[in-house]
Every structure is written in C-alpha cells, then in structure tokens.
Structure 1
Amino acid sequence: MIREESSSDVRKLKTDEIYSDLVVVGGGMAGVCCAITAARQGVKVTLVQDRPVLGGNASSEIRLWILGATSHMGNNNRWAREGGVIDEILVENMYRNPEGNPLILDTVLIEKVTEEPNIKLLLNTAVYEAEKSDDGTIRAAVAFCSQNSTRYRLLAPLFVDASGDGILGFLSGAAFRIGAEGKEEFDEQFAPDTQYGELLGHSMYFYSKDTGKPVRFVAPSYTLKTLDQLPRFKSFNLKQHGCWLWWVEYGGRLDTIHESERIKWELWKVIYGIWHHIKNSGEFPEKENHTLEWVGTIPGKRESRRFEGDFMLTQKDVVEQRAHYDAVSFGGWALDLHPADGVYGDKPGCTQWHSKGVYQIPYRTMYSRNIQNLFLSGRIISASHVAFGSSRVMATCAHNGQAVGMAAAICKEKGLLPKGVSSPELIGELQRRLVAGGQYIPGYRLHDDEELAHQAEIKVSSTYKLTTLPFDGPWRKLDFAMAQMLPVGKGSMPKITVELQADVATQVSVRLMAAAKRGNFTPEVVLGETVLSLEAGVQLQEIAFDYTQKDESYLFLAFSPNSEVAVRQSLTRLTGLLAVYQRFNKEVATSSLQSPPEGIGIESFEFWLPERRPNGHNLAFSLSEPLQVYEKHNLTNGVFRPTTGTNAWMAATDMAQNWVELSWKEPQQIGIIKLYFDTDYDHPMESTLLGHPESEMPFCIRQFTILDGKGKVLASVADNHQSMFALELAEAVVTDRIRVEVAHPLPEIPAALFGITCYPKKK
C-alpha cells in the first residue's frame, strides 16, 4: 500500500533521463527508417513517438498508403521504388499483407523497430521542451508520456527532427518557413498565388462495410447537413473509401499547427455529413445495408513548417533533374499542390505536374543551417513550397530518413556534427555505405576499394541471351499506342520479328524511340520509323531500323494505335523488361499527354505506362542478333536495379543448376556477403487499402546457397522474398572462392541477380 499525506507543494512528475547517441523525434516512416538505419550501424538511438503506433500517416490511425517516386505506376519513372530499409518494410508488408490491412502494417513497423537492440522506443511520448548548451546546440529534448505519467529528459550529442511539424526544430530556434514563396525568390513559375493558397490542408478518411441487413444512421448533432457547400462531393464515387478520399481536405487557410484540432472537427462534420447524405437522402439505395466501419480520429497532415538547411530544393531541381555532388536520395512524385480551400473550394482537388524522370535530393537539405547538431527528416527538409509538393510523400521521406540515419553513424564514428559530413570526401563515404545497404541514388555506382567481389574473377553456370520471347501469350488490341522497352547495348539495333493479327487490311506505324536524357524513360526522340502494311489475318512482320547505339540505354519499339490490329504477347517475364502504353493513370494525371499552361516552368510530354500484373505481358518477338544484356559483369557494376540497362546477370532457362563463382588468386578474409535480388522495383507496393494479387515478386530468387572454396555451406535459404540478403559471419572465412547457387523463381522466369558484394569486415 502507498499512502501520501496532502502537501502544499506542487508535486513533480517522475522523471527519467535517457542518454543515447541519437534522439529521433517522430515515429513516422522517416523517423522509423532513420532510427533503424542508424541502429544497424551501432548507434544507440532513442525513438520518440507521440502516438500509440508507428508509421504516422501510414499507420492504422490515418491509413494513407506509402508512396513515392513510383506514383501508382502513373508516371514515366521506371523501376523507381525506393531502396534500403523502406524497401525492406514494403516488401515485408507485401509478403504478409497483400490485402493492405493497415493494422498488419502497424505490426510490421513495431516488429522492425523492436528487433533492433540499439533502439529505445518511447510511444505516446510527446516532446514539448528543448534544452540548449549554447545558441546553436541542443543538449536535451524534454518529453512527456501520457500513459505512464513520466517526464523524460533525452540527452544526446545528435538529434533528428522527423516530427512532421518540426517541434524540436521550432523549440530549439532552427530557422524555418511556413507558406509559399513568391515566384521571384527561386525563379519558380509554378509558385501559387494567394487565391490558390499557401498551405496544403489536412485529410481524413473513412471506411464502410456491408452488414447484410438494413442499417439506420442517425447523424450526430455536429454533422454538416447541407452538402451544397461541398463542390467536390458532386464527383463522389460510392466505391471510394479510405485514402481514395484524399480530397476530403480542409485547413489550408488556417494555422495547420495550432488549429489542427479545429481542422479535425470540421473534417468530422464533413465526413458525417457525407455519410448522412448517402444513408438518408434516398439517392443511394444500394447503401441501405452499409454501416460506417471506421472514421479517422486524427487527420493526415500535409504541410506546416519547412526548415532551412545549407541548400534549399526548388522547382528547377525537380523539373530539370539537376545533379548534386551530395545526392543521397531521390524523389519522383509529381509537383503536387492542393488549393487551400480544399473540400469547400471549387478548384480541382490538386494540381500535379510530373518531371520526365526522378531527381536527386542533396544531403545539405537534411540538417539545420543554424542548429549545428540537428538533422532534418521527413516533410520538413529544406525545400521550397513548390518542391515540397513532391518531396513530402512518405516513401521519399523515408528514403531521406535513411540517409540521415547513416550520416548520424558517420558523425558518431568521426566525432562530427551534421554539416561536417557534407564535405566531398565524407559524402563519398556516406553514398558508398547507403548504396551498399540497398539505397538507390540516381547516377551513382558503388565504388569501394575495400569491396572484394569486384576484384574477383567471375564464372557463371550460363548466361541468358535475349533472342526470343515465345509467341505464347494473349493477343493485345492496339487501342492505345504500345511500346516494348528493350535494353540495348552499344552497336547496331537488330532486326525484330513480331506477330500481328489484323481484322482487315490496314497499316500500323512503328517507331524506334529513346529518352532525350539518358537514364530517363520518357520516349521523346524518334530514332527511326517504318510503316507495316498488313493483310487481314495473322502474320509475322520483320522490322528493321538503320540505327547504331553509342551507349547502353533503353529503346522503345512503339506501335501506333489501331483498334483493328492486335499484337501477340509473351507469357515470359524477365528482369528489366517491360511493355508500356501511351495512356494515363487517373489517380495522378488527367490525360496521356501532360500539357501544362505556358509560363509555369513545367515540360509537356507523353506518359508511357506499364500495366500491373497479372496483366502487363511483354511483346512476343524474335531478334536477328541476341541482345547480350544479362552478362556476368553486371554483378559487380555497382548498380542494383535496372537503369540504363538491366544491371543483372541472368541464368539460361535450360540449365538445371545455376551458379555464380567468385575466385581470387590469393585467399581472402571475408566477413560479409550481400546478394541483391529483383523484387520488381517498378511495383509501387502501396501499403494500405489497394490490395495486390501477389505476396511475392515473381522475379525474386527464393532458394539459394552460399558456399566457400572447400564446399562448406555458409548459408542456405529456401524462402527468400527480400531485395537484399546480408550474411554476416560470426567469424570471417578465409577462402579463395565463394560460390552462390540459385534456383529459378518460376518455370517461366529465369534466375537473375543484380549484384554480389563481399567485405572483409563490417561496413
């Protein structure tokens, strides 16, 4: 029994002091991926989250899907899903949760964090005060947990603000901005005027379900009863629920930090008003048996503070895809701005303009310019309002967070502050460590003198020669222009034979096309054109172009639309091979041709999009000369996804045993071996709601064995589904050979590897 006498003094809360190497404030996707990355590098991390679950906008509290550069496969950014820890999370969620249940995603995130012994996780704990040792240095963050009535002093030499609103940056005095810059400051012609509004609002989602019997709905008193005030409701689709309702948005003309509760109440009024109208207006009898299953209790917030770093990302960095010496991440979501009036306005719910490819994000956007031990992560990085319209989405934020986590590890090891890592020498180290861990940086190849695989002689069991894709798939009408993407190396373009079926005698134009910028996947340069004259019926046609390729890149064999003609497709699926269509995805575009108004600094171009499986078959074809694009040298070229080429070694399909062998003239001490697999980086893997027909990516090698030169098994895996496998040996093995034996994932899909790396010690 505890009994305490009354006291005239004010009692103090129980206070715990926690010392760590790094304090990460905010447990959204950026904070989670930052904390995991740092912890795996030996950094002691305290992760502080003011909610009962992790994930922020992706959690079961809000239920927005995680997306980034892939943009629902609705832009021309091929193989653009973010890598590293965020990829690991998305792949794992896909494996366990293809249905998109947000509660399961919660468990995946909690598991990933709590499995790291170097992370101290504080849930339901809100930072409310900062202590400083001098004007530019944070000494401690002070937080309170509402569930255990405990006050925490979190002391560390380094801090990360990934809180969304930037609470620690604000309290510590970091320079920040709220609202939109004018067009003149950064020469951003897409900058909005005051009528459109300077802030993006909050959104709230709801789900309904069919109970099998009539359900009455009595609207609460605060319900908005007159929906004529909501112009956006006129386009409401009864099949929409969850994050398809992103347009239920409000608050862009308010203080999106201090008036967030007011915004939430207004969104509740709107949501219950929408449901009241659906249930009680008599206009939707098909919803008689439906009940509200779930309504969000906190809104998904898009924008508040943005903090100033040593570099500010702007519109031209995105649209022009500018290169940065300190690139550590990338983006690819559209410049996506929303009118401030949201659901109460008469403007379209958003204005999305895409760039022709992905863009680099520099490290200098990820730390405060005036608080010297504060990293920035998530949507608060140093970006203008316009560039923020792209960089704010969760997968991009998470990818940035990984860069910050690795930079914090370098700071710890070398006794540096965040700015110190921005030197070219240390940026090179940061980039090497990120890419070795699965992060993707556009235009960067892994170069590491300590890595041993690139020093080895490589032998393989066989190599797939791209000569024919069997004529065994469905016929596809040319209702839209269609193109087969082909990875073509240096040399002459081979002749290609295809099979077509014409309803009547007609013609089809075929063009050979390429992107204007190497590494992009926007076909806009016509390299050659021919016209096929077709008879009625099925026929083979040989296509020849007098074209010689100077550098390895993807070319597009593009067929003009003709609804009287169908092309034969193939059931064979291969790493780095896709067919695309000149059409649009209504979730991220309004036309197959992006046609921005003049004077806003955005380019016009066509969208060429792949289809999701189980559709999305390649064109059936045969080539006069094989394309040698799956060679063994790709295993050590330092790129672990398709870019200008496949970047993969692929085994021939007719071999029963498939293997790669690395050998050295002298025995090597090897402690870490990493394998990089194909989990289809073109698939967005939306984490919530949408649902996917697969739980495992069909290209991913599931069974493999790693052996040393004496035939000793170092690892044997029968159920892999992840993009990267890292074998960290308890004791280094001394050997002159490493052999990796792999099985074909499926009978119609040959085994492919993007890379192998070997290290003598932990990197």
Structure 2
Amino acid sequence: MVLVEAESFEVKGGWVLDQQFIDQMGSPFLMAHGMGKPVADASTSVTIPEKGIWHVYVRTWNWCAPWKTEEKPGRFHLSVNGKRLDNELGLGEKWDWEYAGTIEIKERRNRIALHDLTGFNGRCDAILFSKEKEVQIPNEGEQMYKFRKKLLGFTGQPINGGTYDMVVVGAGTAGLGAAIKGAREGLKVALIHNRPVPGGNNSVEVRVVASGGLNLMPYPRLGDVIGEIKNVYRRPAHVDSVIAAEKNLSFFPNMHLFDLEKKENKITSVTARDIESNVETIFYAPIFVDCTGDGNIGFLAGAEYRVGREMRGETRETLAPERPDNMVLGTSLTWWSKDVGHATPFPECKWAIQFTEESCEKVTRGSNWWETGFLYDQVNEAEFIRDYLFRAIYGNWAFLKNKSKDKADYANLDLEALFYVAGKRESRRLMGDILLTQQDTEGAYVKYDDAFVTCTYDLDQHFPTPKNSFFFPGEEFISTMKHYFNDLGTPRRYLREDQVIPPFRIPYRCLYSKNVDNLFMAGRNISVTHIVLSATRVQETTGMMGELVGIASSLCKKYNCTPREVYKFHLKELESKIK
C-alpha cells in the first residue's frame, strides 16, 4: 500500500490547508474553499512501486451530512496521470475512506490531482493506493495513527528538538507576549504554533481587532511587547521581523502539539508534528506555557479545568445562572462582499440554511456577531460549529442574491472573503490557585497582592439575538453583546488610563496550574469564571498576561523554582520588573 497525505501536496492550487481539527479527526486536510467557485486543482507526485491495477481510496466526507441535506456540496474527483477515476468523492456520512476507483499504473512516478466540482469546501485528508480491493483501513484513534506512521516510514523516535528554558505553545498575542518577553529576559525559548503565521485571533487568518488597554499604572511595563507588535494582521512582516530579531527565541510554525510526557506532577517534554511533512519533534524544558486557547497542554497533562457557566450558588456572581450549564461564548467567522461593477451569480445552495424575507440578515459583510456554538463543545465539535457558520453565511448570501425582494441591491456584489479559520472565544479554562470571580472585578479596591494584569474591558456576555432565536431556536448564529459596566457607571474600555482606580486586575495566581507544577497559562484559558472570561479574553489583556508569565519564567530559572514558588518567595521581585 502507498499512502499520500493531502497536506503534503507539492501544489495546493486553490485548495487551502486546514489543521483546526487535527485532534478530533486525526489529521490536517486540504479544503476547496472557493466560496461557490470551483478552485484550481491541487496536485503532487507519488511513487508507486509496482505496475498493474491499483485500487484507490480517499479519506473524506460530506461535511453537510450532520444536517441530512440531500445535496452534497463538497464533491470532487481524483485523477491519476490525467485520468479521472470513476467515483465522485465527498459523499460519506463521516470522515472515512471512500472508494475512488481503479487505475492502471505503468510507471514508478505518477501525478495525482484533486479536482473540485463545487467550490463549496470539499475536503481531502489522504489517498491510499492498494493492490487489494477488500482491505481493512484504520479510520480513527491509535490504530489510524500507527497505520499512517508505518506507511509514511516514520517508525523511529521523534527528532530531538532540543532543550529550552521555556516552551510556549500557541503564538497568539498571549504566546507572543510570553515568548518574546521571556527571550528578552535571557531565557532560551521555543515557540510552537500550529498555524503558518503568528497572531492567533489577531492574525491575517482571523482578523479580530485587539482590544484592551496597555502599559497601565501602577504596572506600566506590562504591555511593552504587545504594544510593539499590536494588530498583527495589519503588520505581519513587522511581527515576523520582531520574532526573527530575538536571538534567544526559536519559532516553530505549522507544528501541532499532540503528546507530552510527565514525571510526577511536572511536564518533562512535549511532542509536536509538522503539519505538512508529519515529521515529529520532541522539545524539553523545565517550564511550559499553555497559550493554545483550548488549554491543550493542560488537558494532555491532566490539569484541572472547567467548561461552561458556574452556578450562582457556587460563585455568588449576580450574572451567573441559577444552575450550571455548558453555555460558552461562541465562535465567529469574518466575511465581506465587494461591488464588482456588474451582475454576478451565486448558487442557490439548497444544502445551506434556508431563509425567508423575515429571517434573513440584509447585510453585505459580517464579523464577530456571526457567532454560533453557544451550547456545543467548542473543542470536540469544532468542525461542526465552523461548518454550521458556513451554512448560515452561504445560505443567507444565496437568499439575498437569488430570492430577496431586494436582490437588485445585491446583484453587483460578489462574495470576496469568507475566512475559514474560526475565531473562538471560550472553551477550556485551566484552574489555578485562584479562580477570579465577578466580585473580584467590582469595587474600588484591589483584593490580591499579586493582582498585576490590568483588564480594561467590561464584562461582555454574548447571547443569540431574539430574532435569530425566534427563527432558529437552539441553532442560532447571530449574537448580541450585553456589556455590564463597573461601579463608576462607565464602560471599562472608556476609562482614562490615568485614573487612580483601575477597572480590575488579574492575579498572577490565575496564570499557573494548581495541579501541574511547571505549567503556566496565558490567554482565554486562564483561571477565571465564565463571567470574568468575557472581559479577560480580549487580546491586549491576554498579551500582558503572556508578558508577565515570560518574566515569571525567568525567575523560575534564576531560583530553580516552580511558578507557585515565585508567588511564595519572589513576588516582590516579579512586581519590581513590571513597574
């Protein structure tokens, strides 16, 4: 058998590399993200060791299968040496191996290509050539992982990526803050990121504007790094140059962390896989920082975590529900259209959400308010959540273009951009020595002696709009934001930076794990309640968290101590470095 991973294709054409769901479906995949226009072929060379008839399988699926649609929007063909195989692909009920057909192989070197038929997000994970038609192909879990490794020839140990003072996983604003600040404090740092570009939600792939205040009294040095690289998506080359200029910092983009080793209560190493080559590398360090957003390191390490809303009886938060539930802030996709000066068609999209004049959104662009997944698992159902937004956006646009009474207003508009990388707000929150609650954000005082990171955003709870809930109960995708002001009656983000009393501050003890001794966290996965996360999640604030963690990590090295021991024995020195 011969296995070809789609992510390793030499020419990706119009297909994009999607690695958001590796931990759920097992691999990155190529996706034909044409926004209704079939994309250019992806192709690559493959060596087939033996002449003759070969059976070909493709791991793919009909991504609209969860909604039982009659039409299958992600259909495509596979060709070998220019000959299209018989069967259309992208038809299955789940990620699985679909039979593409047979091909006669006459030479060792062969060219295979993916040919998109719809422009609507067909996806291909891998291609398998087999001399036997009836073959058992593993499709999930450890069996599939071992099967892939064997056929790809990766039977040995991971490459030794080296030993560092600190390993940071996730290069959003929090990870960038931690890694760059740590490097400037003299640490040897590895920054691992599973996207090709840094920035996370603030990158060119998602484009969420960074919010929050920086360099606020009485700790004006927090924010120096984030201020320098602010708005990554607007200045990607600048951010790349900042990373490259740090001699103590090694950046590993397109590397997905999937495994780690522990000894007692400490992580000793993490292992990451190159997204395109599948080569695995192991990294060693005494300190690890989880800036993955989803708390992936903490989850793998067995760190205590929470998901969803705490009940009012536990936290005494006035904004908490009476009973706990799994409701979270949702996921968003950004999209926009462009006036091209002449009428442009758009398909009917019968597989998408169907709209009426009353239920549709008469808009020409969308951003953070196109939000869904409030009651879904934002980690394990992430592909479903993202794809549901696809169905909402495509369906709404198809209605406006084809059926609305105002369709003339949209005739010359073309769907120019629809980002496929989801902007998440909330999933796992890793527990630290303090769980920050709503009460800690209120009042003109500072409760904790390690409250260093100033949060200038107000509590910002998201809920589906009443209109959206009326037409799509339980399956909403348009949100509204309710901002809760502080006791001064002023939205936090509008407070003057020179005010004596800050909105509220996040304690250092929220930034390390309570039960994994050498694990820091920074970002939307820190130790706060659901209510407080609605303020602390904004990116300039998470960047300052990262900077504080970078400084604290340098003290861990200086004194050969744990993050908790920094609080116990070296808090004044940590504080002195941010004044």
State the TM-score, normalized to the length of structure 2. Answer: 0.66
Question: Residues 313 and 322 of structure 2 are in contact (CA less than 8 Å); yes or no, is this contact kept in structure 1?
Answer: no
Instruction: Give the structure 1 partner of residue 437 of structure 2.
Output: 314
Offset of residue 49 of structure 1: 0.6
Aligned partner letter, 2:381: E
Bigger radius of gyration, 1 or 2? 1
Residues 1:209 and 1:376: Cα distance change in structure 2 (over 3 Å):
same
Instruction: Give the structure 2 partner of residue 198 of structure 1.
Output: 327
Question: Residues 177 and 307 of structure 1 are in contact (CA less than 8 Å); yes or no, is this contact kept in structure 2?
Answer: yes
Question: Residues 327 and 376 of structure 2 are in contact (CA less than 8 Å); yes or no, is this contact kept in structure 1?
Answer: no
Aligned partner letter, 1:350: M
Instruction: Give the structure 1 partner of residue 241 of structure 2.
Output: 111
Aligned partner letter, 1:88: E
Aligned equivalents of 1:415, 1:53: Cα separation in 2:
33
Aligned equivalents of 2:408, 2:259: Cα separation in 1:
53
Of 384, 388, 393, the match for 2:533:
388
Aligned equivalents of 2:47, 2:371: Cα separation in 1:
51
Aligned partner letter, 2:531: V
Aligned equivalents of 2:454, 2:257: Cα separation in 1:
29
Offset of residue 277 of structure 1: 2.5
Aligned partner letter, 1:169: G
Question: In terms of mean alpha carbon deviation, does 316-325 or 300-309 score higher?
Answer: 316-325
Residues 1:80 and 1:264: Cα distance change in structure 2 (over 3 Å):
farther
Residues 1:321 and 1:381: Cα distance change in structure 2 (over 3 Å):
farther
Offset of residue 105 of structure 1: 3.0
Aligned equivalents of 2:154, 2:209: Cα separation in 1:
44
Aligned partner letter, 2:371: E
Instruction: Give the structure 1 partner of residue 228 of structure 2.
Output: 88
Residues 1:322 and 1:294: Cα distance change in structure 2 (over 3 Å):
same
Pairing 1:8-23 to 2, within 5 Å after superposition: 11-12=154-155, 15-17=158-160, 18-23=162-167
Aligned equivalents of 1:163, 1:359: Cα separation in 2:
24
Instruction: Give the structure 1 partner of residue 259 of structure 2.
Output: 129
SS in 2 for 1:378: coil
Instruction: Give the structure 2 partner of residue 458 of structure 1.
Output: none
Alpha-carbon displacement from aligned partner over 1:251-278 (angstroms, at most 9, x marks no partner): 1111110000000110000111222123
Offset of residue 165 of structure 1: 0.4
Instruction: Give the structure 2 partner of residue 26 of structure 1.
Output: 170
Pairing 1:612-761 to 2, within 5 Å after superposition: none
Residues 1:189 and 1:132: Cα distance change in structure 2 (over 3 Å):
same
Aligned equivalents of 1:294, 1:342: Cα separation in 2:
27
Residues 1:216 and 1:28: Cα distance change in structure 2 (over 3 Å):
same
**1:345 is aligned to 2:469:** yes
SS in 1 for 2:577: helix
Pairing 1:460-471 to 2, within 5 Å after superposition: none
Aligned partner letter, 1:431: E
Residues 1:165 and 1:254: Cα distance change in structure 2 (over 3 Å):
same
SS in 2 for 1:27: coil
Aligned equivalents of 1:211, 1:384: Cα separation in 2:
46
Aligned equivalents of 1:106, 1:227: Cα separation in 2:
41
Question: Residues 250 and 341 of structure 1 are in contact (CA less than 8 Å); yes or no, is this contact kept in structure 2?
Answer: no
Question: Residues 185 and 554 of structure 2 are in contact (CA less than 8 Å); yes or no, is this contact kept in structure 1?
Answer: yes
Pairing 1:397-436 to 2, within 5 Å after superposition: 397-423=542-568, 426-435=570-579
Pairing 1:88-237 to 2, within 5 Å after superposition: 88-90=228-230, 103-134=233-264, 136-192=265-321, 198-227=327-356, 233=360, 236-237=362-363
SS in 2 for 1:247: coil
Offset of residue 434 of structure 1: 2.1
Question: Residues 194 and 275 of structure 2 are in contact (CA less than 8 Å); yes or no, is this contact kept in structure 1?
Answer: no
Q: What is the RMSD computed on CA atoms of the aligned residues?
A: 3.0
Aligned equivalents of 2:397, 2:200: Cα separation in 1:
26
Question: In terms of mean alpha carbon deviation, does 277-286 or 176-185 score higher?
Answer: 277-286
Question: Residues 14 and 150 of structure 1 are in contact (CA less than 8 Å); yes or no, is this contact kept in structure 2?
Answer: no
Question: Residues 343 and 349 of structure 1 are in contact (CA less than 8 Å); yes or no, is this contact kept in structure 2?
Answer: no
SS in 1 for 2:377: coil
Instruction: Give the structure 2 partner of residue 64 of structure 1.
Output: 208
Question: Residues 330 and 358 of structure 1 are in contact (CA less than 8 Å); yes or no, is this contact kept in structure 2?
Answer: yes
SS in 1 for 2:298: helix
Q: How many residues align?
A: 409
Instruction: Give the structure 2 partner of residue 379 of structure 1.
Output: 524
Aligned partner letter, 1:264: R
Structure 2 gaps of 5+ residues are: 1-45, 51-149, 471-477, 489-501
Aligned equivalents of 2:199, 2:413: Cα separation in 1:
29
Residues 1:321 and 1:54: Cα distance change in structure 2 (over 3 Å):
farther
Residues 1:375 and 1:269: Cα distance change in structure 2 (over 3 Å):
same
**1:359 is aligned to 2:488:** no
Offset of residue 139 of structure 1: 0.6
Aligned partner letter, 1:306: R
Offset of residue 109 of structure 1: 2.4
Aligned equivalents of 2:339, 2:152: Cα separation in 1:
57
Aligned equivalents of 1:342, 1:170: Cα separation in 2:
35
Question: Residues 202 and 233 of structure 2 are in contact (CA less than 8 Å); yes or no, is this contact kept in structure 1?
Answer: no
Residues 1:148 and 1:213: Cα distance change in structure 2 (over 3 Å):
same
State the TM-score, normalized to the length of structure 1. Answer: 0.50
Instruction: Give the structure 2 partner of residue 333 of structure 1.
Output: 457
Aligned equivalents of 1:207, 1:46: Cα separation in 2:
36
Alpha-carbon displacement from aligned partner over 1:581-633 (angstroms, at most 9, x marks no partner): xxxxxxxxxxxxxxxxxxxxxxxxxxxxxxxxxxxxxxxxxxxxxxxxxxxxx
**1:46 is aligned to 2:190:** yes
Aligned equivalents of 1:173, 1:316: Cα separation in 2:
29
Residues 1:321 and 1:261: Cα distance change in structure 2 (over 3 Å):
farther
**1:295 is aligned to 2:418:** yes
User: Greater strand share, 1 or 2?
Assistant: 1
Instruction: Give the structure 2 partner of residue 273 of structure 1.
Output: 395
Aligned equivalents of 2:467, 2:194: Cα separation in 1:
28
Question: Residues 348 and 399 of structure 2 are in contact (CA less than 8 Å); yes or no, is this contact kept in structure 1?
Answer: no
